[in-house]
Amino acid sequence: MSLQEKLISSFLLGMYFMYLMITRRALDIFNCNPVEPDDGFTYTQFTSINCDGGLCRCWDPNHVQLRLVPFSIFALLIITLGFPVFLFLLLRKKKNAIKEDQYLRALDIAPIQSTNPIAYFNRLKYHKMYYHFKPGKVYWIVFIIARKGLISTAGLLFRANPGFQLAFVLLVLFWAYVQQVKNQPFMSSVERTTVILEHQAKVKLNDKLHVLLATRIKSARDEEEKAKSKQKRKERSGQSLSKVMEQSNDRIKKKEMKLNYFWNYNTVER
The total number of residues shown for the chain amounts to 270
45-62: average pLDDT: 86
pLDDT of residue 238: 53
Q: Which of 116-130, 170-184, 246-260 has the highest mean pLDDT?
A: 170-184
Give 126's pLDDT tier (boundaries 50, 70, 90).
very high
Q: What is the DSSP letter of 191?
A: G
Instruction: Say whether 16 sits in a helix, a strand or coil.
Output: helix
Contact 135, 192 (CB under 8 A): no
Spatial CB neighbours of 66, under 8 Å, sequence gap ≥ 6: 58, 59, 60
- Of these ranges, 40-44, 139-143, 221-225, 228-232, the one predicted with the greatest mean pLDDT is 139-143
In this model, does residue 228 exceed pLDDT 80? no
**With bands split at pLDDT 50, 70 and 90, how would you rate the model's confidence at 83?**
very high
Q: Name which residue leads in pLDDT, 51 or 146.
A: 146
| pLDDT tens digits along 128-181 | 999 999 999 999 999 999 999 999 888 887 877 888 889 999 999 999 999 999
**What are phi and psi for residue 57, nearest 5 degrees?**
-80, 135
Flag whether pLDDT at 182 surpasses 70: yes
Give the per-residue pLDDT at 77: 95
pLDDT at 244: 47
pTM: 0.82
3-state secondary structure of 46: strand
Measured CA to CA, the distance from residue 107 to residue 187 in angstroms comes to 12
Better-predicted residue by pLDDT, 226 or 83 = 83
Q: What is the spatial distance between Cα 146 and Cα 58, in angstroms, rounded to a whole number?
A: 28
Task: Check residue 1 and give its pLDDT.
Answer: 59
